[in-house]
Structure 1
Amino acid sequence: MSDALVSLRNIVKTYRRGQQIVPVLAGVSFDIEAGAFLALMGPSGSGKSTLLNLIAGIDRPDSGQLIVAGEEIGNLDEADLADWRARNVGFIFQFYNLMPVLSALENVELPLLLKDMPRRERTERARLALEMVGLADRADHAPSELSGGQQQRVAIARALITDPTLIVADEPTGDLDRESANDILRLMQRLNDEIGKTIIMVTHDSRAAGHAHAIMHLEKGELSGREDVRA
């Protein structure tokens, strides 16, 4: 489709386990339009996290065409791929991946350290990102001084700081209680609805997936169905 931000064609991925070749993705093809909020669901071992890692440029397919944000990323060398990730992808992980010795503000600033940017500008942008996720008053707190939900909000602010084309989230509510999880999902939904961020989220939780526009189901490395959730 003309407005596809992500386009996959016959993506195949295998891993080697000793002498055994283990198939993970078997010819997956689909498009994701700009501004979508897509949930990837499937049983353990279905290939959903592998698929997310391929789209984010963390891993490479064995074969097939993978175009994200206008770039066929499977053809990039490691240096160009790292640069592409830094410009285009914001990451949200299940366990936050915050640096414990840094404050919330300093954690959010981290992706900007790779850019030629004055310190004052980095700090201002980090404060604005924390304000966007409702944590402006926690900027100087260490991760250990924050709840799990607050830590995940810091991680979301960090994902937003470079204004990425795409946000990928791997089980972003998997380590949270239900109330905190709902808060995070509403925040992600707002980022999608109000500022148009394209989000791809892996989740095992059907209630979490219900916040997306659509759910893509994977089964044994193949797409087994798609359902629209929100208009």
Structure 2
Amino acid sequence: MSELPASPLVSLRDIVKTYHRGQQTVPVLGGITFDIDAGEFLALMGPSGSGKSTLLNLIAGIDRPDSGQLVIGGVDIGVLDEAELADWRAQNVGFIFQFYNLMPVLSALENVELPLLLKDMTRRERRERALLALEMVGLADRAEHAPSELSGGQQQRVAIARALITDPTLIVADEPTGDLDRESANDILHLMQRLNDEIGKTIVMVTHDSRAAGHAHAIMHLEKGELSGREEVRV
């Protein structure tokens, strides 16, 4: 596994983001400043429209702020051009989505392999690495199954294996248990907590579920684009 950089891993300073709807300007984030330490598991919570998903997308390099500075692992991602940002994202960020985003025509193994296709690796190397990632999430025995042959919880485990396959610096999760029943959700949350505790993966998770947020080290609360508090959950 890659060596973790010195804390903080993520540093946000005066992050401002607005969206434009026709002639209307809609403020989303109004001067957000905080840090995330390497190895931290942080949950972002807030009502709909509070800006938490926008904030997650900025941290992941999917979107750009209107102003402010965002430094991750010592890299000021705001100064990167689009090609450089895409390359940085591919190397440093693993994504977990609510609806899995798996390719239905590919097997679990092939879905996990996808992020490695642009890397200078042989097919055998990609397969071995993907099998190891599936083993880490307890699905090595389902490697050849299509997504339609897997439960929702199993599909999310495949998505987590895919997020891990490049050994990213940061994992971002947008409502990762939102489409799961309670038992499957608990399994996924315990898996994410184990990846954080045992491997030291830094995780930022958006969730509406206070029980899900309870698996994090801390909960950052947002209200109308502003930080309304930080709650420490577990050491």
TM-score, normalising length: structure 2: 0.97
Distance 1:155 1:137 in 2: 16
Alignment of 1:1-231 (within 5 A): 3-231=7-235
Deviation for aligned residue 1:225: 0.3
TM-superposed CA distance for 1:150, in Å, is: 0.1
- Distance in 2, matches of 1:106 and 1:127, equals 10
Shift of 1:74: 1.0
The aligned amino acid for 2:46 is G
For residue 116 of structure 1, report the CA deviation from its aligned partner: 1.0
Q: CA separation in 2, counterparts of 1:175 and 1:92? A: 12
- How far 1:186 moved relative to its partner? 0.1
Structure 1 segments, 4+ long, off by >6 Å, are none
SS at match of 1:183: helix
User: How far 1:3 sits from its partner (Å)?
Assistant: 1.1
Which letter maps to 1:122? R
Shift, 1:38, TM fit:
0.1
Q: Does the residue aligned with 1:172 lie in a helix, a strand or coil?
A: coil
Deviations 1:175-201 (A, max 9, x none): 000000000000000000000000000
> 2-side partners of 1:116 and 1:3: how far apart?
31
Q: How many residues align?
A: 230
| 1:64 positional shift | 0.3
Task: Report the AA paired with residue 62 of structure 2.
Answer: I
Supply the RMSD in Å over aligned alpha carbons. 0.5
- Over residues 119-140 of structure 1, what are the superposed CA-to-partner deviations in whole Å (9 max), with x where a residue is unaligned? 1000000000000000000000
Q: Structure 2 regions of 5+ residues with no counterpart? A: 1-5
Q: CA deviation at 1:160?
A: 0.1
Distance 2:57 2:72 in 1: 12
C-alpha deviation, 1:11, in angstroms: 0.2
Distance in 1 (alpha carbons) for counterparts of 2:120 and 2:197: 31
1:135-156: CA deviations, max 9, x gaps? Answer: 0000000000000000000000
Q: Match of 2:231, SS?
A: strand
Q: Quote the Cα distance in structure 1 between the aligned partners of 2:159 and 2:81.
A: 28
The alpha-carbon deviation at position 70 of structure 1 amounts to 1.1
2:48 maps to a residue whose letter is S
Q: Deviations over 1:62-88 (max 9, x none)?
A: 000100111111111000000000110
Q: Distance in 1 between matches of 2:220 and 2:119?
A: 35
Give the letter aligned to residue 208 of structure 1: A
Distance 2:168 2:91 in 1: 6
Identity %: 88
Give 5+ residue unaligned stretches, structure 1. none
